[in-house]
């Protein structure tokens, strides 16, 4: 639930959504419906309107918004509504058309009677709904001009027996007597869920509770807290700074004690009344100073210290002088238990300083990890930067500045990281600091470009660290290794593995051993140590992030769907909670690939979109892997997939080849699938090889290139039997069956289906049912073929794999499959227009093409198809061949 968001899930508004969904449904059924939605600013009215509009795809939706500046102009909002229906105006009776056009300024004439204008407007809406239900949405009704309000109220009471839904929303109590829905604030549990769903990182529990209490259930206030404040400022309440909040308050009328108490409350981020009052006592503030603040409704002192408006907190703090801030922070430090809250104690002490202090700097550096536990990486970044500012000695100051820059880089705050790196370079910089500086610059370069030059920079910085700071070298080499595997730079992979061989830790020996064997001696040599390494990564929470990210690459290479699912799921949660926005898009992409193969395409799409939004916001290249694979499985042509040979090597190129092969095999372009995957027979890289080999086998068999298919099957079989998972062995059995005949083929198909049913991979299970059904039909066993083909078709339709669903549907038709025909008693008959549209859609015509043939609008086509699908109990046009009766076909 968000105000003005495009999100489809509205938190805490289930009943309200159900009520609004009835409006377009009633219009679609030929009935009228009216509802007025009322609520305070930011309470979520617009979000509900957005959802209602999305659910009205079968309606002609007209949406207008009243404008405050036009509230005194008669019929100004009615003009907006009628302008959207201008094509219908000539159809009105002449006297109605003249009255309406005069009222909205389309023709000159004397003032018209509002009754006639109302009748004309009602007639206009009814006429517009004649061919397609009409859904009119009017927002911000508090700004309606009086004339438009009168007409809308008149029309709302006279929409009898016409398919028109009227939804009005705004503040105030206008339109008495009409059905209404009053929106209240969200409950605490829903408010917290909404807030957490939009936070960039984990936030201190106490800060969360204070924000929820201060928002008083208003979704916009909650979202402002998550979006308008930087992660550092929000994370643990540590980063409170003076802002230019658009909230004005006259502090001059407050007593000195009340002003000081107000500032003290603003500087205490948790809203902890006990701490505020302890600090107030230390400052000599009288208890009755709160009375004036309560009377003025600026702050409430209860179980939480909450401001009337969260922005007021920022305004008060921002208007205070530096001396005033230092004074209240000193009092808050004294009021904070150093043993129980060492990080908060150190934080307030630092803000009470007028200059550097090494003791306070040490306390900040020592408690940065504690702060990270409360508020993730953003909190740690704030502590490290403040520690650097408080440090007088040059060496630790540079070290802390670099550490802060790296942490800012991790959360995607590139400007802050660049600023701190430039500060650190002013030095003095010793060999270790210089190497660390180059490492962070290299990481930022790789984030921004993912180029060969950036990979080389990562390796160079690791070599520098190996010479002067061996304890940091292993992590740097591991990072360079992961980057090189991702980009396909084999020379860097080998160099990094060679260097890492001399710096192994007991925890990750198997990981490095397996990678070294895998990348130098082939798949077979690396399987067993890599299997053991995945178990280590899965069970040991102390494993470094670089190893976990490599695990996300290794698991699918081993066809280990269980570990792949568990590792990527845990990594997304860990990275989200830490606020590591620089790496989050990469992790989301890996998780999206899991969701695709599990068959949850909609979930994968949301992850892909989130990853794309993060890379776009950071101004860095996207990770296109999952997007391309998803498009391929959906059966949708993608210019990026058809732009020629993949450029370079690594995951991007391998994914493009694999995705193109999936698309081609789904569309039946088997020769093209062979062309884009044949090269995997000559490579031995750590990249989707097994997946592409399976596509190559199917494409080659169907293209008659049996020798190529046999070579690919041999490579695939080696990997599958070494892996030993049901996923791998199921795909291998299916691929082998494609090259067999008779009982041997049937036994292999049965084995493949059995194994894949025990795996998580629904896409390959449906593929196997499809090719098995195809084989049965070619064996003239049409009746036997129907069950696997029907199972494949239903699975593909549910997933949204359109090309494969169409392929399965064609095969079903070839078996003579016909679903149970419904009688008029069990199914509403199609109208003549619906039959025409359904027949054209069945024959492959697009909505615009059907619209041209029948001289109607594409929107009308969409509306009628929706009704056809409902009447025939199907989900898409790919099923029309199966359900149109003989009479309907004629």
At residue 516, the pLDDT reads 79
Contacts for 118 with CB less than 8 Å, ≥ 6 apart? 150, 151, 154, 155, 158
What the block records as the tokens of 592 is: 């999206």
Q: Which of 468-482, 687-701, 809-823 has the lowest mean pLDDT?
A: 809-823
CATH of region 628-814:
1.25.40
CA 482 → CA 452, 514, 522, 545, 549, distances in Å?
13, 14, 18, 11, 8
Statement: residue 359 has pLDDT above 90? yes
CA 319 → CA 306, 535, 778, distances in Å?
19, 55, 81
Same fold, 397-578 and 628-814: yes
Statement: residue 243 has pLDDT above 70? no
User: Predicted confidence band at 883 (pLDDT cuts at 50, 70, 90)?
Assistant: low
At residue 819, the pLDDT reads 46
Q: What average pLDDT does this structure show over 215-229?
A: 78
> What pTM does this model have?
0.75
Q: Say if CB 834 and CB 864 are below 8 A apart.
A: yes
CATH of region 832-889:
1.10.10.10
Q: What average pLDDT does this structure show over 357-366?
A: 94
Cis check: omega of the bond before 428, within 30 degrees of 0: yes
What is the rounded CA–CA span in Å between residue 838 and residue 868?
A: 7
Q: What average pLDDT does this structure show over 180-194?
A: 85
**Angle between helix 342-352 and helix 358-390 axes, rounded to 10 deg:** 70
Q: Say if CB 18 and CB 8 are below 8 A apart.
A: no
Q: Say if CB 328 and CB 263 are below 8 A apart.
A: yes
Write down the domain spans for the chain. 14-182, 189-335, 397-578, 628-814, 832-889
Statement: residue 415 has pLDDT above 70? yes
Statement: residue 451 has pLDDT above 80? yes
Statement: residue 661 has pLDDT above 90? yes
Q: Which of 179-188, 246-255, 635-644, 688-697 has the lowest mean pLDDT?
A: 635-644
Statement: residue 198 has pLDDT above 80? no
- Give the residue carrying structure tokens 């090259």: 739
Contacts for 205 with CB less than 8 Å, ≥ 6 apart? 374
- Rg of the chain over Cα atoms, rounded to whole angstroms, equals 33
Statement: residue 228 has pLDDT above 90? no
At residue 560, the pLDDT reads 94
Q: What average pLDDT does the chain have?
A: 84
DSSP string, 333-354: HHTS-TTT-HHHHHHHHHHH-S
What the block records as the tokens of 330 is: 């000193």
At residue 631, the pLDDT reads 92
Task: Match domain 397-578 to its CATH number in 3.40.50, 1.10.3470, 1.25.40, 1.20.1300.
Answer: 1.25.40
DSSP string, 381-450: HHHHHHHHHH--SHHHHHHHHHHHHHHHHHTT-HHHHHHHHHHHHTS---HHHHHHHHHHHHHHHHHHH-
Residue scoring higher pLDDT (19 or 882): 19
User: Predicted confidence band at 825 (pLDDT cuts at 50, 70, 90)?
Assistant: very low
Q: Which CATH class is domain 14-182?
A: alpha beta
Q: What average pLDDT does this structure show over 432-437?
A: 93
User: Predicted confidence band at 886 (pLDDT cuts at 50, 70, 90)?
Assistant: very low
At residue 9, the pLDDT reads 57
The C-alpha angle 580, 585, 591, rounded to 5 degrees, equals: 110
User: Predicted confidence band at 251 (pLDDT cuts at 50, 70, 90)?
Assistant: confident
At residue 721, the pLDDT reads 94
Statement: residue 363 has pLDDT above 80? yes
Tens digits of per-residue pLDDT, 524-582?
888 888 888 888 776 655 567 777 888 888 899 899 999 999 999 989 988 888 888 88
CA 130 → CA 519, 578, 600, 847, distances in Å?
68, 55, 39, 20
Count of CB atoms within 10 A of residue 334's CB? Answer: 17
């Amino acid at each position: 639930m968000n105000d003005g968001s495009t999100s489809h899930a509205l938190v805490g508004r289930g009943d309200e959504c159900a009520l609004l969904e009835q409006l377009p449904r009633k219009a679609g059924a030929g009935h009228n419906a009216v509802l007025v939605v009322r609520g305070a600013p930011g309470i979520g009215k617009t979000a509900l309107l957005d959802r209602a509009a999305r659910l009205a795809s079968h309606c002609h939706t007209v949406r207008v918004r009243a404008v405050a500046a036009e509230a005194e102009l008669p019929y100004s909002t009615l003009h907006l509504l009628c302008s959207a229906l201008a094509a219908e105006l000539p159809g009105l009776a002449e006297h109605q058309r003249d009255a309406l056009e005069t009222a909205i300024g389309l023709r000159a004439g004397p003032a018209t009677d509002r009754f006639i204008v109302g009748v004309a407007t009602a007639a206009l809406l009814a006429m517009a709904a004649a061919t397609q239900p009409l859904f009119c949405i009017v927002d911000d009704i508090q700004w309606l001009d009086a004339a438009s309000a009168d007409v809308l109220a008149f029309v709302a009471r006279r929409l009898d027996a016409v398919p028109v839904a009227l939804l009005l929303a705004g503040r105030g109590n206008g339109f008495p007597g009409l059905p209404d829905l009053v929106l209240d604030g969200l409950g605490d549990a829903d408010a917290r869920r909404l807030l957490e769903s939009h936070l960039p990182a984990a936030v201190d529990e106490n800060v969360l509770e204070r924000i929820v209490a201060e928002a008083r259930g208003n979704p916009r206030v909650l979202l402002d807290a998550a979006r308008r404040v930087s992660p550092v400022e929000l994370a643990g309440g540590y980063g409170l700074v003076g802002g230019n909040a658009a909230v004005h308050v006259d502090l001059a009328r407050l007593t000195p004690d009340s002003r000081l108490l107000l500032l003290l409350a603003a500087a205490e981020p948790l809203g902890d009344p006990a701490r505020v009052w302890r600090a107030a006592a230390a400052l000599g503030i009288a208890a009755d100073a709160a009375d004036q603040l309560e009377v003025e409704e600026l702050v409430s002192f209860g179980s939480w210290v909450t401001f009337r408006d969260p922005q007021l907190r920022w305004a008060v703090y921002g208007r205070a002088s530096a001396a005033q801030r230092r004074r209240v922070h000193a009092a808050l430090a004294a009021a904070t238990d150093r043993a129980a809250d060492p990080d908060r104690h150190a934080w307030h002490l630092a803000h009470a300083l007028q200059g550097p202090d090494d003791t306070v700097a040490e306390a900040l550096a020592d408690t940065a990890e504690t702060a990270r536990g409360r508020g993730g990486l953003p909190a740690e970044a704030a502590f490290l930067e403040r520690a650097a500012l408080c440090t007088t000695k040059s060496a630790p100051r540079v070290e802390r500045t670099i550490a802060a820059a790296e942490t800012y880089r991790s959360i995607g705050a590139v400007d802050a990281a660049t600023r701190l790196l430039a500060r650190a370079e002013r030095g003095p910089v010793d060999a270790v600091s210089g190497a660390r500086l180059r490492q962070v610059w290299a990481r930022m370069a790789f984030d921004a470009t993912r180029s060969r030059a950036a990979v080389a920079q990562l390796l160079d910085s690791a070599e520098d660290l190996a010479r002067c700071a061996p304890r940091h070298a292993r992590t740097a080499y591991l990072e360079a290794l992961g980057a090189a595997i991702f980009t396909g730079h084999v020379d860097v992979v080998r160099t990094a593995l060679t260097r890492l061989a001399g710096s192994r830790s007991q925890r990750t020996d198997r990981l490095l051993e397996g990678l070294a064997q895998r990348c130098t001696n082939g798949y077979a040599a690396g399987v067993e140590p890599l299997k053991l390494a995945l178990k280590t990564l899965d069970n040991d929470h102390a494993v470094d992030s670089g190893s976990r990210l490599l695990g996300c690459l290794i698991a699918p290479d081993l066809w280990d769907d269980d570990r792949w699912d568990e590792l990527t799921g845990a990594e997304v949660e860990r990275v989200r909670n830490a606020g590591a926005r620089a790496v989050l898009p990469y992790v989301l992409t890996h998780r999206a690939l899991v969701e695709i193969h599990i068959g949850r395409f909609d979930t994968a799409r949301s992850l892909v979109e989130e990853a794309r939004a993060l890379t776009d916001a950071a101004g860095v290249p996207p990770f296109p892997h999952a997007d391309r694979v998803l498009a391929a499985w959906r059966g949708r042509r993608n210019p990026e997939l058809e732009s020629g040979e993949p450029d370079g090597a690594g995951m991007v190129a391998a994914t493009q080849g694999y995705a193109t092969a999936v698309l081609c095999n789904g569309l039946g372009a088997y020769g093209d699938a062979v062309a884009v995957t044949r090269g995997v027979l000559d490579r031995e890289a750590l990249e989707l090889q097994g997946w592409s080999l399976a596509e190559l086998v199917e494409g080659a068999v169907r293209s008659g290139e049996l020798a190529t298919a046999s070579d690919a099957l041999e490579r695939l079989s080696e990997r599958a039997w070494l892996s030993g998972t049901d996923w791998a062995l199921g795909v291998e059995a299916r691929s082998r069956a494609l090259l067999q005949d008779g009982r041997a083929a049937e036994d292999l198909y049965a084995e493949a289906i059995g194994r894949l049913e025990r795996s998580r991979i629904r896409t390959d299970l449906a593929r196997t049912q499809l090719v098995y059904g195809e084989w049965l039909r070619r064996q003239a066993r049409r009746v036997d073929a129907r069950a696997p083909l029907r199972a494949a078709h239903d699975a593909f339709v549910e997933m949204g794999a359109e090309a494969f669903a169409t392929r399965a549907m064609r095969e079903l038709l070839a078996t003579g499959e016909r679903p149970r025909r419904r009688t008029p008693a069990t199914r509403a008959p199609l109208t003549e227009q619906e039959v025409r549209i359904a027949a054209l859609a069945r024959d492959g015509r697009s909505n615009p093409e059907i619209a041209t043939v029948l001289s109607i609008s594409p929107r009308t086509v969409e509306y009628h198809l929706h009704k056809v699908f409902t009447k025939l109990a199907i989900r898409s046009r790919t099923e029309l061949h199966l359900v149109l009766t003989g009479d309907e076909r004629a």
